[in-house]
Amino acid sequence: MKPIKVTKRQREILNALCEYGQTDLIAYTLHITEKSVTEVIGRVMRNNGYPNRLTLALAWDRLNRGESV
């Protein structure tokens, strides 16, 4: 399984994505705008080759648990 390359802030947003799922909840929890959440998740998806939020969140969750994708 290839690693997902992210910054510290992107890591925080991906962790929140796995925990909360919804853009508005992620934004509220991290005290950022919904637009910022959407842009960061989109950038991580493009840079790492994930077609959608679900596959990104599943891969991120599995990587953090040490499981293979």
Q: Is the pTM of this model over 0.85?
A: yes
CB under 8 Å to 62, separation ≥6 — which residues? 1, 68, 69
Total domains in the chain come to 1
What pLDDT does 8 receive?
95
What pLDDT does 1 receive?
62
On the CB side of 2, CA atoms within 13 Å amount to 8
CATH number for the domain including 31? 1.10.10
What pLDDT does 67 receive?
62
User: Can you list the alpha helix ranges (DSSP code H) found in 1-69?
Assistant: 8-20, 23-30, 34-48, 53-65
Residue with tokens 């596959």: 55
Cβ-based neighbour number of residue 26 at 10 Å: 25
Indicate whether 51 belongs to any domain.
yes
Indicate whether 42 belongs to any domain.
yes
What pLDDT does 43 receive?
96
Indicate whether 16 belongs to any domain.
yes
On the CB side of 39, CA atoms within 13 Å amount to 6
Indicate whether 3 belongs to any domain.
no
What pLDDT does 68 receive?
57
Kindly give the parts of the chain with pLDDT less than 50: none
Indicate whether 1 belongs to any domain.
no
pLDDT tens digits, one per residue of 11-26 = 999 999 999 999 999 9
- Domain holding 38, by residue range, is 8-62
